[in-house]
């Protein structure tokens, strides 16, 4: 397993010196010394991470690991206490317009314009992105169709289900054909059919050379989708690299993950729940 040896260890995988030795590797995201603290609580503790371009990348970690805080800072939604982030070579905080025109974001708890229909929402987003009207309409029709929202396109977003909201959110994030797409828990609350639809769209998108970075704590999903993984726990990167590198000798990513985050011996034991027996023989 390619775990970080210590907090300041030279990163495994494709970062640091390895990148210098492999100049052909294009980086979609370069994070240096990223730090965020809420009062006494350190949410993100000095992360250094290079994410290679053209990959399906999973940012995984247990609850409270700092995934959302990291993605929020990387996408310019939350200002870091310190550190820098570059996306396809542009500094997120110094050059926000260049960055925001190149990225798509599906944040956690996405807020949408509820009183617009799905189609109107895409038309509006296309205008905000400066796309010509005809091109917006063409792309919107295709996205609504591929994401199986065609029959709901004139329904108000407020009446959409959780899965439909994720799909229309994904459509708004893809409309301007970004180079890098960031998705915070894109499959949470989504039924298997919609998940398969979303997955198909994302695979097509990465096959064309674009980069997807998504956060999740569902290891089976990450294992089946991702080429490259970074494991985050208590605000620090614990491992990074190709799926094979991070999985190492473990039978599954789930096992590797439990070992990395130090939950191996604890997971599922429930020893202290001596009262939990469903009422005995009842
Ligand atoms: N606005 C905030 N104010 C105070 N603490 C916060 C805030 N946002 C996050 N935190 C804390 O920072 C830590 C990291 O939270 P974060 O939401 O980034 O984790 P996560 O990995 O996305 O978790 P989950 O998988 O449960 O969504 C947690 O301890 C959380 O309580």
Give 25's contacts (C-beta < 8 A, 6+ positions apart).
14, 19, 52
Q: Given this model, what pLDDT does residue 4 score?
A: 56
Percent of the chain with pLDDT over 90: 65
Burial of 218 (0-12, 13-18, 19+ CB in 10 A): middle
199: enclosing H helix or E strand? helix 192-207
Q: What is the pLDDT of residue 264?
A: 54
Q: Is there a contact between 1 and 239 (Cβ–Cβ < 8 Å)? A: yes
Domain 27-91+212-261 classified CATH 3.40.50.300? yes
Complex ipTM, two decimals? 0.96
Domain ranges of the chain: 27-91+212-261
Residue 116 is predicted with a pLDDT of 97
33 within ligand 1 shell (Cβ under 6 A): no
Among 12-21, 119-128, 221-230, 249-258, whose mean pLDDT is lowest?
A: 12-21
Instruction: Determine the distance separating the centroid of ligand 1 and the alpha carbon of 63, expressed in angstroms.
Output: 8
84: pLDDT strictly greater than 80: yes
Map tokens 């200002």 to a residue.
79
Query: How many angstroms separate the CA atoms of 256 and 207, rounded?
Result: 27
Mapping DSSP to helix (H, G, I), strand (E, B) and coil, where does residue 131 land?
coil
Look up the pTM and report it: 0.86
Ligand 1 atom 28, closest CA: 64
Mutate to test the pocket of ligand 1, among 39, 41, 63 (most ligand atoms within 8 A of CB): 41
Is residue 96 within 6 Å of ligand 1 at its C-beta? no
């Amino acid at each position: 397993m390619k775990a970080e040896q210590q907090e300041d260890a030279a990163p495994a995988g494709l970062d640091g010196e390895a990148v210098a030795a492999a100049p052909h590797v294009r980086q979609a995201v370069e994070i240096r010394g990223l730090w965020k603290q809420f009062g006494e609580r350190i949410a993100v503790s000095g992360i250094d991470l290079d994410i290679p371009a053209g990959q399906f990348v999973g940012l995984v970690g247990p609850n409270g690991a700092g995934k959302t805080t990291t993605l929020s800072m990387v996408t310019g939604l939350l200002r870091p206490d310190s550190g820098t982030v570059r996306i396809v070579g542009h500094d997120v905080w110094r050059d926000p317009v260049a960055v925001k025109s190149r990225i798509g974001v599906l944040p956690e708890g996405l807020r949408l314009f509820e009183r617009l229909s799905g189609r109107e929402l895409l038309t509006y987003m296309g205008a905000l992105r400066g796309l010509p009207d005809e091109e917006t309409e063409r792309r919107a029709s295709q996205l609504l169709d591929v994401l199986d929202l065609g029959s709901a396109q004139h329904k108000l977003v407020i009446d959409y289900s959780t899965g439909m909201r994720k799909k229309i959110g994904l459509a708004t994030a893809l409309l301007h054909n970004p180079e890098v797409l960031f998705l915070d828990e894109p499959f949470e609350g989504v039924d298997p059919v919609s998940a398969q639809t979303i997955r198909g769209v994302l695979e097509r998108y990465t096959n064309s050379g674009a980069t997807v970075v998504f956060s999740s704590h569902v290891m089976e999903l990450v294992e089946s989708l991702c080429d490259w993984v970074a494991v985050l726990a208590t605000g620090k990167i614990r491992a990074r690299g190709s799926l094979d590198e991070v999985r190492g000798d473990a039978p599954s990513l789930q096992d590797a993950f439990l070992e990395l985050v130090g939950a191996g011996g604890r997971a599922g034991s429930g020893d202290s729940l001596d009262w939990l027996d469903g009422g005995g023989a009842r």
